[in-house]
């Protein structure tokens, strides 16, 4: 199963910062066993949400020709738990020093202003067409950003 962990993209600057949200719902499959009677979003999935947000920004900036795959996590700190009903405000921004097909990012996830995750990670550029249909991804981006809607 593939988890789509960005529910909406609220701001996108080509080649720059991307903001979005993840709404944690009680019906999320990963909450069934994490943990019974005390459901929390796994920290690694918050990290994945930051990576996905960065990948959406890269895809849109490249006219949907590229996507990002995680290469290395430089630093990652988890602060508080994200629980059902929380809306995690996500933000990623590129760090200087892009190197060929590699990019570095700093990401933050917060709920109501309280930090949940802060991470720095490196990702590698991949041709989007090798991973998914670019037109399907473009259509999904339009839905996530509400582009073309009043």
Q: Say whether 34 is catalytic.
A: yes
Q: In CATH, what number is assigned to the domain containing residue 70?
A: 3.10.129.10
From the list 8, 17, 34, 83, the catalytic residue is: 34
Q: 34-80: per-residue pLDDT in tens?
A: 888 999 999 999 999 999 999 999 999 999 999 999 999 999 999 99
What's the Cα-to-Cα distance from 121 to each of 94, 105, 127, 140, 146, rounded to whole Å? 10, 5, 19, 24, 28
1 lies in a domain? no
- Whole-model pTM: value is 0.95
More confidently predicted of 11 and 2: 11
The residue segments making up the domain with residue 97 are: 8-145
Q: Per the structure, how many domains does the chain have?
A: 1
Does some domain include residue 111? Answer: yes
């Amino acid at each position: 199963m593939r988890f789509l962990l960005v529910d909406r993209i609220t701001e996108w600057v080509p080649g720059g910062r991307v903001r979005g949200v993840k709404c944690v719902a009680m019906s999320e499959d990963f909450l069934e066993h994490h943990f019974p009677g005390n459901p929390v979003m796994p920290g690694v999935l918050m990290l994945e949400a930051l990576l996905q947000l960065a990948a959406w920004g890269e895809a849109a900036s490249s006219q949907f020709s590229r996507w990002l795959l995680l290469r290395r996590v430089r630093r990652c700190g988890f602060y508080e738990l994200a629980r059902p009903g929380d809306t995690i405000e996500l933000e990623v921004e590129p760090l200087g020093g892009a190197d060929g097909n590699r990019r570095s990012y700093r990401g933050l996830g917060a709920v109501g202003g309280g930090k949940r995750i802060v991470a720095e990670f490196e990702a590698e550029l991949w041709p989007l067409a090798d991973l998914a249909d670019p037109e399907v991804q473009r259509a999904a981006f339009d839905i996530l950003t509400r582009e073309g809607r009043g």
